[in-house]
Amino acid sequence: MRVVVLVSATGDRVDDLARQISAWPDTHVEMVWTGDPQLRPPGRWADARATIGGLPAGVVRAALDHTRRALVVGLDAVARGTGPALLLDAGCALAVRPVVIPEDAVGVVARGAPPVDGFTPTEADLAQWGPYSTAAISAPPALAADLVTRLLDAGDDVAPGPALAAALAGHPVRLLRGEVLGWPVCLPAEADEPQPGHADPALVDLTHVDRHEPWRLDFGLVAPRVRLSARPDLAGRLQPPVTVDDLRAPGGIEIDGAVRRLLADELRGARRGDAAMPPDPWDRPADFLAWLETPARAWEPPLGRYWFELWLQRGDLRQAFPDPRGADLARFRDWAEHRHRYEGTSPLVSSHRADAAVTWRSDGAAPGGVDVVGFFGSEMSLSNVADRVVASLAAVGIPHRTASLRRTGSPARAHADDDTLNHDTVVVVANHDQIEPLLAEHGDVLAGRRLIGYWHWDVEHVPDEVASRMRHFDQIWVLNEFTERTLASVAGAPTVRSLPLPVAEPQASSASRDDLGLPADRPVVLVTFDHLSVTERKNPLGAIEAFRRAFPEPADDGPVLVIKTMNADQRWIEHERIRIAAIDRPDVIVVDRLLPKADQMALVARADVMLSLHRAEGLGLHLIEAMWLGTPTVATRYSGNLSFMDDSNSLLVDAGMVGVERGEGFFPAQATWADPDLDQAASHLRRLIDDPDMGRRLAAAGRARMEQQPTFEAIGRTIAEWCGIRVP
């Protein structure tokens, strides 16, 4: 059997696939390079720069998107061979076992029709991706040659999957034994296995495994119905696909959407005989660049065909330069010449829920009181901060009212708001990303009042957009000295003050370990966090790795690591990453649920260790609660938690500093945060599990530290002093 492997980048995936197929009996493997010709390793892969259907392969590859380009090049290689061949994309296809391919028909792996259940993929995805996998196809040479012609003639707007389906129309088609990961299985009619079996496919299409995040299936923002964490047979074998979509011609010419459209139009015209072929981007790069910079038609603006095509494709350019041939020509030319500067980052205006905007009322702006704005109606850490601000005001009798912010995906909680402001001072308990929506929706009510922001900020770098939002406020209050030092360093910042709010002793319910899903007779290490608080900041993968190092082999009576999260439905990608990391460890329990507050505190109280290998913490409320409840703590020696944790009451983990990755748009990529020492963390875990007396000593010291917090009355008097309010 002849197998043609499509390769566009080097990597272990290519070698693994080649070795696996080479082990099949009577199999000949050919490697065909389909990526950037400049990057093709010498001597190993077949040279795909031969002409395709009489057209230069460089032009064809540049004109088509990667998937269709690979199909064309690969099918062309099949057409020039002898006998039927199996075509596999090294970046997407997993070959499980030898494949039986038909000699007189095109063999494809089919995607089944998805149900309507609110998950992805959907019927719309099926229309977008097509009914057949593009990662694994078999064909005899004659049919492959015709498919090449049809794929070249497909419109530029036709996606590879639908283009393949249209090209197959009228050809004999048979289904190969395989599955497209994430889609319902579509078995061959003659399959021996009963529906919905197919446990032993010959081929698996990994097209929707994100190349940078191999723990997830990627169909957009909506969660897929199939999770890799439920497929341990595949999860351990997945690696990032090595396919590369970006294509650059010699000299660094980017083959972007505008270039592809221009080349596709010329390609179709040349096949019809009414247009000349453009210069080949690889054989004649200088001529190709000149071609891009030359207007295609006399009536186009004197900027070059590339810039006019870009103008046609982008609505923002058409709006900014409505007359590129006349009045706006000079400005459009200036933009084109400086595009590299202008397009570094772009401000985004995001949509929001229809119920997010609620009109607040103003009942004057009297002195002597403080109104508090916060997420009172949501279950999140910021709402807890707002509650404590209100409690401090109430403790000394400062008049106050509350108004709720509603732009959040956190679960709702019961709370009655005034939504009426009547004092001249307003404390806004919200982070920087909420400030502009707040002012846009309620700026008229807030105008003329003294604004005080109560902010969390967890890293030591403050980007310009955060600094600019600080200037809307007269003062910024923060929870600890770490954040005070960071924000106070901003040039032109308002007064920044540390106001550590007391955390009252939490009340745990009587829920037992069994009620909470915990093992009754095994030590429990607890990690708990909200996915909406930036998962990577909480570093659950570091906790799993530290637990692995502490306890390399699971034991029936050994400790368990419980990772308790909330809001996984809104960060399902991050949650799936955690589940995949723990897939081979039965002693790592990952659960996502919203518990009543008292039951959440019972969970903390019933644990033997609270573990937080965070990268940054503005406060560390879960650690404070653990110390109140007598649960010994292991935490990173960095950021806000050091305002109440030290070596006398906790086991702290030393950390270096690394650049922020996966900051979810909240933390800037230029910032750094902690990289805790996982070996030291593992040593701390072993010590606590092996020495319960040490845990009891730390727990007692932790509770003593909590009892030393300032009272709500003391904080209320500080607020009164800072706001110029007299209290009894």
pLDDT, tens digit, 9 for 90 and up, residues 112-132 = 899 999 888 999 999 999 999
Give all domains of the chain, ordered by start, each with its CATH number.
Answer: 2-235 (3.90.550), 361-498 (3.40.50.11930), 515-707 (3.40.50.2000)
Given a cut of 90, whether residue 626 has pLDDT beyond it is yes
Q: How confident is the model at residue 244 (pLDDT cuts 50, 70, 90)?
A: low
Residue 618 vs residue 416, higher pLDDT: 618
Q: Distance between CA atoms of 674 and 658, rounded to whole angstroms? A: 6
Alpha carbons 605 and 599: distance in angstroms, whole number: 10
Compare 475 and 236 and report the one with higher pLDDT: 475
Distance in angstroms (rounded) separating the CA atoms of residues 590 and 577: 11
Q: C-alpha angle with apex 33: 31 to 38, nearest 5 degrees?
A: 145
Q: 3-state SS of 441-479?
A: HHHHHHCCCEEEEEECCCCCCCCHHHHHHHCCCCEEEEC
Please determine, for residue 587, whether its predicted confidence score (pLDDT) is greater than 90: yes
Q: What span, in angstroms and rounded, lies between the C-alpha atoms of 501 and 480?
A: 9
Q: What CA–CA distance (Å, rounded) separates 454 from 433?
A: 13
With a cut of 80, say whether residue 148 has pLDDT above it.
yes
Which stretch of 401-410, 657-666, 688-697 has the lowest confidence by average pLDDT? Answer: 401-410
Poorest-pLDDT segment among 53-57, 244-248, 706-710: 244-248
Given this model, what pLDDT does residue 251 score?
Answer: 65
Please give the share of the chain, as a percent, with pLDDT higher than 70: 90
Helix and strand element counts for the chain (H, E)? 26, 25
CB burial of residue 286 (10 Å; 0-12, 13-18, 19+): exposed
- Integer Cα distance of 34 and 48 in angstroms: 7
Residue 12 pLDDT > 80: no
Q: Which of 79, 14, 75, 78 is nearest to 41 (CA)?
A: 14
Which residues make beta-bridge pairs with 30? 4
| Helices marked H in 396-539 | 435-446, 464-470, 481-488, 513-516, 535-538
With contact defined as beta carbons under 8 Å apart, do 57 and 51 qualify?
yes
| 523 or 191, higher pLDDT | 523
pLDDT (mean) for 488-495: 92
The DSSP code sequence of 633-701 is EEEES-GGGGGT--TTTSEEE-EEEEE----TTTS-TT-EEEEE-HHHHHHHHHHHHH-HHHHHHHHHH
Within 10 Å of residue 515's Cβ, how many Cβ atoms? 13
Confidence bin at 345 (pLDDT 50/70/90): very low
Question: DSSP secondary structure string, 596-608?
Answer: -HHHHHHHHHH-S
Question: What confidence category does residue 347 fall into, taking pLDDT thresholds of 50, 70 and 90?
Answer: very low
How many CA atoms lie less than 13 Å away from 559 in the CB half-sphere?
26
Q: How confident is the model at residue 169 (pLDDT cuts 50, 70, 90)?
A: very high
Strand order in the sheet with 178-180: 93-95, 203-205, 178-180
In this structure, how many other beta carbons lie within 10 angstroms of the beta carbon of residue 442?
Answer: 22
Give me the pLDDT at residue 234, please.
75
CB 414 within 8 A of CB 378: no
Instruction: Please report which confidence band the pLDDT of residue 107 belongs to, taking 50, 70 and 90 as the band edges.
Output: very high
Instruction: Please answer whether residues 525 and 609 qualify as being in contact, where contact means their C-beta atoms are separated by less than 8 angstroms.
Output: yes
Identify whether 25 is preceded by a cis peptide bond (ω within 30 of 0). no
- Range with the lowest mean pLDDT among 204-218, 399-413, 674-688? 204-218
Tell me, what's the pLDDT at 91?
Answer: 76
Closest listed residue to residue 72, CA positions, set 60, 62, 83, 54 = 60
Amino acid letter for position 306:
Y
Q: Alpha-carbon distance 170 to 188, whole Å? A: 19
- pLDDT-derived band at 50 (thresholds 50, 70, 90) equals low
